[in-house]
Amino acid sequence: MVRVSRTPWGSHLGQDVSLYVLQGEGLRAAVSNYGALLQSLVTEDAPGGLSDLVLGYDSLKEYLEGESFFGASIGPVADRMAGGSCEVGGRTVRLPRNAGPDSMHSGPGGFHSRLWEADILEDGVAFTGVFPEEPDGFPGTLTARLAYRLLPGRALRLEYAASCTRETALSFTNHTYFNLSGAKTDCRGHMLRLNADFYAETNCGIDPLVTGRFLGVAGTPLDFREGAVIGDAVSRLEHPEIRSAGGVDHFFSVRGAGFREMAELLSPKDGLRLACFSDADGLMVYTGNFIAPGTRGKAGAAYGPNFGVCLETGQPPNAVNFPAHRARVVKAAGEVYQAATEYRLERL
């Protein structure tokens, strides 16, 4: 049984912002209608009792001022878009450039900065947003629904659904940073395993952008098929992909199709395993390379580089600008977009 409660959390743009606490057996999540974000994920199964396994802030003000997308829902199109521009729905979309010469996570007006309507479910909360067409933005009026559910066996499920009145591009994800030590230390000692034989090549520039090609992981620091220590991978600065990204910040194409296990993150020291399941094409793995040293998080914790690992399920970055990949993200008018991701926690 899941209990859901609501707590006022402040206001933004004259509207109320709340935290919704989902309490299940051995797992508690707090989510907000600001950015449809995941603010905390607390387990009772960690050594020493309660432990919050995701990075974030205590106050709404800190989220409004922060730049790391802690726990945020991301859309309409996740990740980096070349030049902030694409052709879709018979128009040129021009988004603000917030990542060097490119747009990241649909720019400042993306899902992460929006206020959502909330509906309490039997096992969680659903957030709904209606986003009218804007000049230079994505075509049509988009209706999106993002739901968080707690499942038996200490699992958090994220469900996405959307449709638009015109052809548009859609690729949602979640930008939670996981830290299985409860942010007592960084994640360099965590182990990561991926069911992925290929990664999306980048141009290895100052602002790395995917080339549209997929390369084999064999023989590279991006080979996590048998599991690898994150600290070992991010220290391989002699490899141009690691050097340009400051660590791991890459999309991996996951074997198989349908709802399947994509990744597992383990902390042997803390005796915890987090498995990631999704029906997406793959996932973006980001090892928190640019979290500023001394960033103050929840309960006064000091974060820094590699303090969190993002497992961002979804479609390849910049797919809308590659003819071979456009069909993965471009949806016709009225076509329903659906996706789901689960994070399952267990003791080692």
Q: Is the pLDDT of residue 188 over 90?
A: yes
Mean pLDDT of the 31-37 span = 98
Helix (H) or strand (E) run with residue 341 in it: strand 337-347
Contact 38, 31 (CB under 8 A): yes
Contact 60, 17 (CB under 8 A): yes
- Three-state secondary structure call for residue 61: helix
Q: Is the pLDDT of residue 251 over 90?
A: yes
What pLDDT is stored for residue 143 in this prediction?
A: 98
Report the C-alpha gap between 217 and 157 in whole angstroms. 29
Q: Is the pLDDT of residue 49 over 90?
A: no
| Nearest to 157, CA basis, from 313, 269, 264 | 313
User: CA–CA distance from 213 to each of 210, 289, 317 (Å)?
Assistant: 8, 23, 11
What pLDDT is stored for residue 334 in this prediction?
A: 98
What pLDDT is stored for residue 263 in this prediction?
A: 98
Q: Which of 27-36, 45-54, 141-150, 177-186 has the lowest mean pLDDT?
A: 45-54
Residue range 286-329, pLDDT digits in tens = 999 999 999 999 999 999 999 999 999 999 999 999 999 999 99
The model's pTM: 0.97
**Of 170 and 67, which is predicted with more confidence?**
170
Report the C-alpha gap between 328 and 115 in whole angstroms. 27
| CB half-sphere exposure, 199, CA atoms < 13 A | 23
What pLDDT is stored for residue 113 in this prediction?
A: 97
Q: In whole numbers, what is the pLDDT of the chain averaged over residues? A: 96
**CATH of residue 209:** 2.70.98.10
Instruction: Kindly state the tokens that stand for 47.
Output: 């050594």
Mean pLDDT of the 47-73 span = 93
- List the domain range (segments joined by +) for residue 292: 3-347
Q: Is the pLDDT of residue 45 over 80?
A: no
Q: Residue 44 — very low, low, confident or very high, per pLDDT cuts 50/70/90?
A: confident
Sheet of 282-286, strand order = 177-178, 309-314, 282-286, 249-254, 196-202, 210-216
Mean pLDDT of the 260-273 span = 96
Q: How many distinct structural domains can be found in the chain? A: 1
Q: Is the pLDDT of residue 212 over 90?
A: yes
What pLDDT is stored for residue 67 in this prediction?
A: 86
Mean pLDDT of the 176-205 span = 97
Report the C-alpha gap between 262 and 314 in whole angstroms. 11
CA 58 from centroid of its chain's CA atoms:
19
Residue range 85-109, pLDDT digits in tens = 999 999 999 999 999 999 999 999 9
